[in-house]
């Protein structure tokens, strides 16, 4: 469901911008919209367009839309930013951000090499893995990290397992129960962290079996996943579940190594430390969305877009204070 731009905008080596935004999810695109309204020459460098919205199907909690497909919402964000002249360059992974004089040099894959007076980092977070035998081996061959994305591929299968206790795991278990004969929902604790309405929905499904206080110890198969080995931590009992796939929905982790390579201060969990204006420990570098330490337990599209807007405003104010802002007529 990741959105791509058919014609990739031209990007000159050494080109200079007022602002480079790293990341094209809701936070990055919101920042781009606001930056462009401040008349900042802005470019978005991103691996894909949409970020974590690409991992879901429907959005029903974004103000103004009772229910909208995630792909449609992303398209609206993208089109809004582009309508103000923002260039969005997909397929780019930013590798380093270096301070050179009063500017930042941003280097990325595909030969991207540009300069900016300010930078906003909105790269989100990446899927967390179990780290058990068989996980890497069977990735893409029965091991999935996105129930919403891959559930249709398992239509008519006998059984699958879902691992996790948060919203994504419960949503995945509910969705998959409509596609397969049986769903094992494996959670290492007794209580779920998911919203009560999601827990209620899963409990209403006759073909969902809860395995609480239980962890996966191994994923086994031949050319494809055939079973998972689990351990009940309370009883010490081991069990082998015959499944056609396993969906690992245990949350996300920040790109801590990337943040540290830039020199950014991070919290104890590896997220970028920001103040209420999205300012990081490096003057001129701002951060937004799921990459930051604020509201770790409440990651929503609306909070991502809010932090993106604030980051853009702060970048604009920084450029003015440093005398780096150029009027539209001089660009």
Which two three-digit tokens encode residue 317? Answer: 């104010």
pLDDT of res. 104: 98
Superfamily of domain 16-127+252-330: FAD/NAD(P)-binding domain (3.50.50.60)
Q: The whole model's pTM is what? A: 0.77
pLDDT of res. 327: 57
Residue 269, class by beta-carbon neighbours within 10 Å (0-12 exposed, 13-18 middle, 19+ buried)? Answer: exposed
pLDDT of res. 331: 53
Superfamily of domain 143-248: FAD/NAD(P)-binding domain (3.50.50.60)
**Lowest mean pLDDT across 51-60, 236-245, 279-288:** 51-60
Which two three-digit tokens encode residue 249? Answer: 């929905």
pLDDT of res. 126: 83
pLDDT of res. 3: 52
| Model confidence pLDDT, tens digit, residues 244-271 | 999 999 988 899 999 999 999 999 999 9
**Cβ–Cβ under 8 Å, residues 46 and 11:** no
| Model confidence pLDDT, tens digit, residues 30-49 | 999 999 999 999 999 999 99
**Cβ–Cβ under 8 Å, residues 253 and 88:** no
Query: Would the CA dihedral through 301, 170, 75, 119 be positive or negative?
Result: positive
Per-residue pLDDT band for 149 (boundaries 50, 70, 90) equals confident
Location of each CATH 3.50.50.60 domain in the chain? 16-127+252-330, 143-248
pLDDT of res. 318: 97
Is 150 labeled as catalytic in the residue annotation? yes
User: Which member of 18, 150, 167, 290 is catalytic?
Assistant: 150
Query: Would the CA dihedral through 145, 148, 149, 150 be positive or negative?
Result: positive
Average per-residue pLDDT in the chain? 92
User: Which member of 48, 79, 102, 149 is catalytic?
Assistant: 149
Per-residue pLDDT band for 140 (boundaries 50, 70, 90) equals confident
**Cβ–Cβ under 8 Å, residues 251 and 166:** yes
Is 79 labeled as catalytic in the residue annotation? no
Is 113 labeled as catalytic in the residue annotation? no
- Flag whether pLDDT at 132 surpasses 90: yes
Per-residue pLDDT band for 5 (boundaries 50, 70, 90) equals very low
Looking from the CA of 21 toward its CB, the CA atoms found within 13 Å total: 38
User: Which member of 146, 167, 244, 290 is catalytic?
Assistant: 146
- Flag whether pLDDT at 328 surpasses 80: no
| Model confidence pLDDT, tens digit, residues 195-219 | 999 999 999 999 999 999 999 999 9
Residue 64, class by beta-carbon neighbours within 10 Å (0-12 exposed, 13-18 middle, 19+ buried)? Answer: exposed
pLDDT of res. 78: 97
DSSP per-residue letters across 67-131? SEEHHHHHHHHHHHHHHTT-EEE-S--EEEEEEETTEEEEEEGGGEEEEEEEEEE----EE----
Per-residue pLDDT band for 6 (boundaries 50, 70, 90) equals very low
- Flag whether pLDDT at 8 surpasses 70: no
| Model confidence pLDDT, tens digit, residues 22-32 | 999 999 999 99
């Amino acid at each position: 469901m990741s959105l791509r731009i058919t014609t990739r905008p031209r990007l000159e080596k050494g080109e200079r911008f007022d602002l480079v935004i790293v990341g094209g999810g809701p936070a990055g695109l919101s920042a781009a919209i606001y930056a462009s309204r401040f008349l900042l020459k802005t470019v978005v460098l991103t691996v894909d367009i949409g970020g974590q919205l690409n991992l879901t199907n429907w959005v029903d909690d974004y103000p103004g839309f009772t229910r909208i497909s995630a792909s449609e919402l992303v398209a609206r964000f993208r089109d809004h930013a582009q309508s103000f002249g923002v260039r969005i360059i997909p397929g780019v992974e930013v590798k380093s951000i270096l301070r050179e004089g009063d500017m930042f040099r941003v280097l990325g894959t595909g030969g991207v090499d540009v300069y900016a007076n300010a930078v906003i980092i909105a790269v989100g977070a990446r899927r967390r893995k179990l780290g058990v035998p068989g996980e890497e081996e069977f990735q893409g061959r029965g091991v999935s990290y996105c129930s919403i994305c891959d559930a249709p591929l398992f239509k008519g299968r006998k059984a699958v397992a879902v691992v996790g206790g948060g919203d994504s795991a419960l949503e995945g278990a509910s969705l998959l129960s409509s596609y397969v004969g049986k769903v094992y929902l494996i959670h290492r604790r007794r209580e779920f962290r998911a919203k009560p309405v999601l827990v209620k929905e899963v409990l209403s499904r006759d073909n969902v079996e809860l395995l609480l206080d239980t962890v996966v110890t191994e994923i086994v198969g031949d050319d494809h996943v055939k079973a998972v080995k689990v351990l009940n931590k309370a009883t010490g009992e081991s069990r082998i579940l015959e499944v056609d796939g396993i969906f690992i929905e245990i949350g996300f982790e920040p790109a801590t190594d990337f943040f540290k390579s830039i020199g950014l201060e991070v919290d104890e969990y590896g997220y970028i430390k920001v103040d209420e204006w999205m300012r990081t420990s490096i003057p001129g570098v701002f951060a937004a969305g799921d990459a930051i330490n604020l509201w770790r337990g409440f990651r929503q599209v609306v909070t991502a877009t809010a932090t993106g807007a604030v980051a853009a405003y702060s970048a604009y104010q920084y450029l003015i204070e440093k005398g780096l802002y150029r009027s539209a007529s001089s660009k």
